[in-house]
Amino acid sequence: MEFNGKRVIEIGSNSASVKPLIEKFCSPAEYIGTDIAPGKYVDIILPAEKLVEHFGVEAFDVVISTETIEHVLDWRTVINNMKAVLKRGGYVYLTTRSRGFPYHGAPYDFWRYEPRDIIKIFRDFEIVMLEADWEAPGIFLKARKPFDWKPADLQDVALYSIAFRMRVKSVKDVISLSALEKLRLVLCSSKIKALLPGALAIRLVKVYCT
């Protein structure tokens, strides 16, 4: 098994953590859960953008990311960090949501990933398994970091934005969008929704954030 006696890090361990299962059945040497807020399975409060800064490169044998990368605005930095902290020959396990999954701010929700996106994003890895989520629109990835790994340039990858309901390469692309399209980003903020009457917030989410 890839976990036995290995050093494992989970990114986004506050909500959908698999830490109890891995520790019980797979006997890792160490399992570190990270997230941006305290939680039952969070060992270190750390934004994913600072993984390399905190742990250094090639620090872990296994990287797990559960339901996280759709919530980070700068997804390229986060994924590049995930790849960099992983040892060569190590494995990344990742789940995320695809188009059709409803808005779920925690506190924000930005992106939807399709299998073709993951293939592009992890073209510098060996993709061992890539499957659709059988319960809801989403994906599961298992990929191995090659011993001769060279990081892929991700600047050419455009993702589906849940706020704008179109593919964009970065939030800078929204400068060219209409006022109505720009409004979606504001309406899809959970902080804004908290200020609105319940029925109105629900209606806006259905119209603009799905």
Cα gap 176→192, rounded to integer Å? 23
At 198, the pLDDT band (50, 70, 90 cuts) reads: low
More reliable by pLDDT, 171 or 165: 165
Q: Tell me: the pLDDT tens digits for 151-169?
A: 999 999 999 988 778 898 8
Question: For position 203, what pLDDT does the model report?
Answer: 53
- Distances from the Cα of 121 to the Cα of 41, 52, 78, 81, 152, angstroms: 28, 19, 12, 13, 8
Q: Tell me: the pLDDT tens digits for 115-150?
A: 999 999 999 999 999 999 878 999 999 999 999 999
Residue 83 main-chain phi, psi, to 5 deg: -65, -40
More reliable by pLDDT, 58 or 183: 58
- ∠ at Cα 90 (85, 92), nearest 5°? 75
Out of 60-64, 186-190, 204-208, least confident range: 204-208
More reliable by pLDDT, 143 or 104: 143
Domains of the chain: 7-169 (3.40.50.150)
